[in-house]
Amino acid sequence: MTTTSTIAYIGLGSNLSEPIEQVKNAIKAIRKITQSSILSVSSLYLSKPMGPQDQDNYINAVLSLETSLSPIELLDALQAIENEFGRVRKENRWGARILDLDILLFGNQVINSERLVIPHYGMTEREFVLIPLAEISPLLQLPNGQNISSLSQNISVNSMIKLSEY
């Protein structure tokens, strides 16, 4: 039996407990996910929080990952990393967090289940997703045919700052 692999894109974010280190350590942890291999990692970006503004700014990045895991297996692996880092899931969806790992895209799949929505909802309205995504994969297209580069060029930067290469 041959296993097929898929390229997935993962969004990373943190605004608690030394967020730059949280994101860098999360990338190291993602490298250890079974049946998966990181292809590229964007620069780190400093961005304003989406929700309540009475929290620290976020460090964000996006990485591409070749994996033979299913979308749910990858989600389980990413949530295990979040839990290992001390992520606490609260009612406050937009609150501060030690680590947030989101599957943005999984090949060209469109998934809309209770646990997982791919493409990630709202990703086309988030500069901290589109700009790092275009940095590592400028020719990428969403399943609906939208081009990441043109989406990233047409979004407001909202004071986001490119900090450094990973």
User: Tokens at residue 134, please?
Assistant: 């275009």
Q: 102 an active-site residue?
A: yes
Q: 93 an active-site residue?
A: no
Among residues 54, 76, 100, 115, the one annotated as catalytic is 100
- Gap between the Cα atoms of 144 and 107, Å rounded: 12
Q: Strand, coil or helix: what is 135?
A: helix
Among residues 31, 56, 97, 126, the one annotated as catalytic is 97
Q: 97 an active-site residue?
A: yes
Among residues 31, 54, 56, 87, the one annotated as catalytic is 87
- Gap between the Cα atoms of 50 and 69, Å rounded: 30
Q: 89 an active-site residue?
A: no
Centre a 10 Å sphere on the Cβ of residue 12 and count the other Cβ atoms it contains.
29
Q: Which of 65, 49, 53, 61 is nearest to 129 (CA)?
A: 61
Active site residues: 87, 97, 100, 102
